[in-house]
């Protein structure tokens, strides 16, 4: 049971930062603002926290802890942001700085772990003993929750499944390797296949949308063209989905979870859900092929806030202030 003490949950995303006051199972005073890049981020977060408190009608003195989700890897002690290019942070002691500004204990983790905690507590992975949240968007990241706690591995990097090699002869990945799961099944891979289809004259619809050129085509344009009946775009979606299924099956074979929750711009779609389910059915052995479920995320943009709140409550429990 949660204590009847409000905590502050903050979710700093690549483009939007959110904050809310969480009191037991209630999320109050939800506010958001464009993410401030670089050095001004701490003060922007403090402003956002004050807005959330005002909006929820809670004074800062009533709050006992803060949970923070950040869009990139954190250090093993979870005090530093290792690197988040899109927010302009590089090896910054963000948790400590925020603690200094708010005068409250701050617990921090990356977005995948926070969203996984949120979905495990209140969303699509509720009740699961082992759950994996897979974010399929610009890249592929995962958060693994075992018995209600994030499984971090020995060095804080467990669930780096986006860099499992599924095809050594495959396309170059952002990490420099070839054929990583994310190089084959994330948004940019789908966009690249759509561009190729347009350039080869296989996709009239995508060619038509290629203004000024095919470089402007993104994953959602390809998904939309496929949904509109364009066969070239549908082929690109099919190839991406096939690889997504193979990668999701690899994750299932490793962790044997109750459920794999798909999130992210590309992952959280009905089309990719079907491919992921087929992948587990076709590429896992008994009993995983029949028992591991694949579901879409349920908490949407709130997953990170709920997970951040959970971090804050866990921190309070550790300090005996719950």
Interaction site with a copy of itself (CB under 8 A): 128-130, 146, 151-161, 163-168, 175, 177, 242, 246, 249-251, 253-258, 282-288, 291-292
Task: Decide if 240 contacts 218 (C-beta within 8 A).
Answer: no
Nearer to a copy of itself by Cβ, of 218 and 258: the residue is 258
β pairing state of 26-34 and 16-23? antiparallel
End-to-end Cα spacing for the chain: 10
Q: Could you tell me the smallest distance in angstroms from the CB atom of residue 256 to a copy of itself?
A: 3
CA distance 246 to 185: 9
How far is it, in rounded angstroms, from Cα 123 to Cα 117? 9
> Distance between CA 145 and CA 233 in Å, rounded?
35
Spatial distance between the Cα atoms of 211 and 115, rounded to a whole number of angstroms: 36
φ, ψ (nearest 5 deg) of residue 307:
-65, -40
Least gap, CB of 293 to a copy of itself (angstroms): 10
Minimum distance from CB of 280 to a copy of itself (Å)? 11
Residue 64 or residue 277: which is nearer to a copy of itself going by CB? 277
Residue 54 or 129 having the CB closest to a copy of itself:
129
Report in angstroms how near the CB of residue 151 gets to a copy of itself at its nearest.
Answer: 7
Query: With respect to a copy of itself, which residue has the nearer C-beta, 270 or 285?
Result: 285
Min dist CB 8 to a copy of itself, Å, is 30
Q: What is the largest CA-CA distance in the chain?
A: 65
Closer residue to a copy of itself (CB): 55 or 174: 174
- How far lies 314's CA from each of 209, 305, 310, in Å? 49, 14, 6
């Amino acid at each position: 049971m949660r204590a009847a003490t409000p905590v502050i949950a903050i979710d700093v995303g690549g483009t939007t930062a959110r904050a809310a006051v969480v009191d037991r199972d209630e999320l109050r005073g939800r506010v958001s603002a464009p993410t401030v890049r670089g050095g001004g981020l701490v003060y922007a977060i403090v402003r956002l926290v004050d807005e959330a408190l005002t909006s929820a009608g809670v004074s800062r003195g009533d709050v006992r802890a803060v949970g923070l989700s950040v869009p990139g890897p954190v250090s093993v002690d979870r005090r530093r942001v290792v690197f988040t290019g899109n927010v302009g942070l590089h090896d910054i002691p963000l948790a400590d700085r925020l603690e200094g500004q708010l005068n409250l204990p701050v617990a921090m983790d990356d977005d995948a772990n926070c969203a996984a905690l949120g979905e495990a507590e209140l969303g699509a992975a509720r009740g699961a003993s082992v759950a994996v949240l897979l974010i399929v968007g610009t890249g592929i990241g995962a958060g693994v929750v075992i018995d209600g706690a994030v499984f971090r591995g020995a060095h804080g990097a467990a669930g780096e499944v986006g860099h499992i090699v599924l095809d050594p002869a495959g396309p170059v990945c952002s990490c420099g390797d070839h054929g990583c799961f994310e190089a084959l099944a994330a948004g940019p891979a789908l966009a690249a296949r759509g561009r190729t289809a347009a350039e080869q004259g296989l996709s009239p619809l995508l060619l038509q949308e290629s203004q000024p050129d095919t470089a402007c085509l993104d994953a959602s344009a390809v998904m939309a063209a496929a949904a509109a009946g364009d066969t070239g775009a549908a082929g690109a979606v099919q190839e991406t989905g096939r690889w997504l299924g193979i990668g999701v099956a690899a994750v299932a074979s490793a962790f044997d979870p109750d459920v794999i929750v798909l999130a992210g711009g590309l992952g959280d779609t009905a089309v990719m859900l079907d491919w992921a389910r087929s992948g587990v059915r076709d590429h896992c052995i008994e009993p995983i092929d029949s028992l591991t479920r694949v579901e879409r995320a349920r908490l949407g943009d709130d997953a990170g806030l709920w997970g951040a709140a959970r971090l804050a409550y866990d921190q309070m429990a550790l300090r005996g202030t719950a």
